[in-house]
Amino acid sequence: MTLKCEQQTLPFFESVEDARAGDIAGAVSGGDNSLRTEDSAFHTWYRFVLSYPPHLVRHYLRDFGLKEGTTVLDPFCGVGTTLIEAKRNQLRSAGIEANPFPRFASAVKVNWRMDPDHLLAVASDIADSTHTSLAEQGIDDGALTCGPDVILRTLSPDAARAIIKDSISPLPLHKALVLLDELNRHRASDVHKYGMLALGNALVTTIGNLRFGPEVGVGKVKRDVPVVQTWLHEIRRMADDLSLVREQPYPEAVVHLADAREVAHVLAPQSIDAVITSPPYPNEKDYTLTTRLESVILGFFTDMSQLRTHKKRLLRSNTRGVYKHDDDDRWISHNQRIQRLAEAIEARRIELGKTSGFERQYARVTKLYFGGMARHLTQLTSVLKPGARLAYVVGDQASYLRVMIRTGQILAEIAQESGYQVDRIDLFRTRFATATRKELREEVVVLRWPGHRH
């Protein structure tokens, strides 16, 4: 498929609106956000519903003319889409992710050194021992039968409060915890991390009751599921993908558990040739909700206080992740466009008589979001090589009382203020917003770091 995108390098813009080359060139990749069948390897080990597609990453790898030996960064790497595509194209890569389980998932997904036969052999042993343990309790996982006197294991009260209520039924949870015990007996083996990721993916796709759309919630409640069989299916898919790259050389990919607003703390100066990423959008989505079930069951955090510790490393993109002492808004205190936007949101709140604690935070979180992005872009300059190319996938939003936030335009303006050259803004796709009855743009802000401030 031929990807449509304006290929010329445009001059430095006096106004970011002049950079919207996507309006002329048409949507990059035709606006296709789906995962193509030919791209399933490694990506489907664990993936967010709203992840951007691998073919979009490949487009910018080509557009930037990246060669072997160069290093690509994804500072909001999520589940590692950019890192996998960089590795497939023989490019070194680095990722930064503040949420522990997605960071873990990304690190496993780009580790292709595991021998697939060894993975299958150890996983088969774990499955057998799990079946034996369950049988001793009167549970036949394959036949979905359970004795009348079985005492089911549960999460601690603190851990249970950290997940969405009814996101997993009691019997599947019990079996998952028994499987986890058997898996943890192999903690010293490299197989352990692949087994953990396979269980994490199975929990959210098959074992649990969650449904994913624009929001995460509880779908059809399943009283029982063949947990061990489901887990083994995930392991076999991993082994099939690893067989595709067996004994082939691929460059290193490193994933840091860190704050994208502090990239200089984990990356060497002038070490990055390109950035391809999609930061959170400014809306009311709590991105940690999509990973709560697997994070809690697998022990990446066990109560809300630990979750809050992790959240403080995240870009402030929703009111459920805002804290009293946050001050990222100071980074954009001079930007009149953002100040006017926040004032418009607050005026709308007062006009509509909205008085909840979250609604009172809408104007503040808008400033904290763009301030956090300004802080990120400023920090990033120290790790970029002169001439580095950058692509930020962002979307317009109207979550805050239907006041339109033109995220791409504002981010381009912030980037200019931080010394970046705005090459263009490509249209990726449009999304219909039911609340506003309008088409919202998802765009790719394409930047260049000249190596000095204008």
* CA–CA gap between residue 397 and residue 302 (Å, rounded): 32
Three state DSSP letters for 269-331: CCCEEEEEECCCCCCCCCHHHHHHHHHHHCCCCCCHHHHHHHHCCCCCCCHHHCCCCCCHHHH
Tokens representing 122?
A: 């150890």
User: For every one of its 454 residues, what pLDDT tens digit does the chain have, with 9 covering 90 and above?
Assistant: 222 333 222 333 344 444 544 443 445 656 677 888 888 999 999 998 778 999 999 999 999 999 999 999 999 999 999 999 999 999 999 999 999 999 999 999 999 999 999 999 999 999 999 999 999 999 999 887 777 778 899 999 999 999 999 999 999 999 999 999 999 999 999 999 999 999 999 999 999 999 987 778 899 999 999 999 999 999 999 999 999 999 899 999 999 999 999 999 999 999 999 999 999 999 888 888 889 999 999 999 988 888 888 889 999 999 988 999 999 999 999 999 999 999 999 999 999 999 999 999 999 999 999 999 999 999 999 999 999 999 999 999 998 999 999 999 999 999 999 999 999 999 999 887 766 677 899 999 999 999 866 5
218: β partners:
210
Return the residue matching tokens 């502090």: 262
* CA–CA gap between residue 313 and residue 392 (Å, rounded): 20
Kindly state which CATH superfamily the domain 16-103+253-449 is placed in. Vaccinia Virus protein VP39 (3.40.50.150)
pTM greater than 0.75: yes
Domain ranges, ordered by start, for the chain: 16-103+253-449, 116-244
DSSP states of 209-251: -EEESSSEEE-SPPS---HHHHHHHHHHHHHHHHHHTTT----
